[in-house]
Chains A and B, each alone.
Chain A
Amino acid sequence: QVQLQESGPGLVKPSQTLSLTCTVSGGSISSGSYFWSWIRQPAGKGLEWIGRISTSGTTNYNPSLKSRLTISIDSSKNQFSLNLTSVTAADTAVYYCARVRSGGYDYWGQGALVTVSS
Chain B
Amino acid sequence: DIVMTQSPLSLPVTPGEPASISCRSSQSLLQSNGYNYLDWYLQKPGQSPQLLIYLGSNRASGVPDRFSGIGSGTDFTLNISRVEAEDVGLYYCMQTLQTPHSFGQGTKLEIK
Q: B36-65: which have CB < 8 Å to A? A: 39, 41, 43, 48-51, 53-55, 58, 60
On whether the beta carbons of B100 and A108 are closer than 8 Å, the reply is no
Stretch of A9-17, A21-29, A44-52, A75-83 on the interface side: A44-52
* CA gap between A37 and B51 in the complex, in Å: 14
Q: A47-B49, A105-B39, A111-B48 are in contact. Are A62 and B58 (CB under 8 A)?
A: no
On whether the beta carbons of A108 and B50 are closer than 8 Å, the reply is yes
B71 to chain A, nearest CB (A): 16
A-B contact count (CB 8 A): 59
The main secondary structure of chain B at its interface with chain A is: strand
Range, interface on chain A: 20 to 34
On whether the beta carbons of A46 and B48 are closer than 8 Å, the reply is no
* CA gap between A62 and B54 in the complex, in Å: 22
Residues of chain A contacted by B58 (CB below 8 angstroms): 103
Residue B76 at the A interface, CB < 8 A? no
- A–B Cβ pairs within 8 angstroms, 11 of them: A37-B101, A46-B92, A49-B100, A49-B101, A51-B100, A60-B99, A96-B48, A104-B54, A105-B49, A105-B94, A106-B51
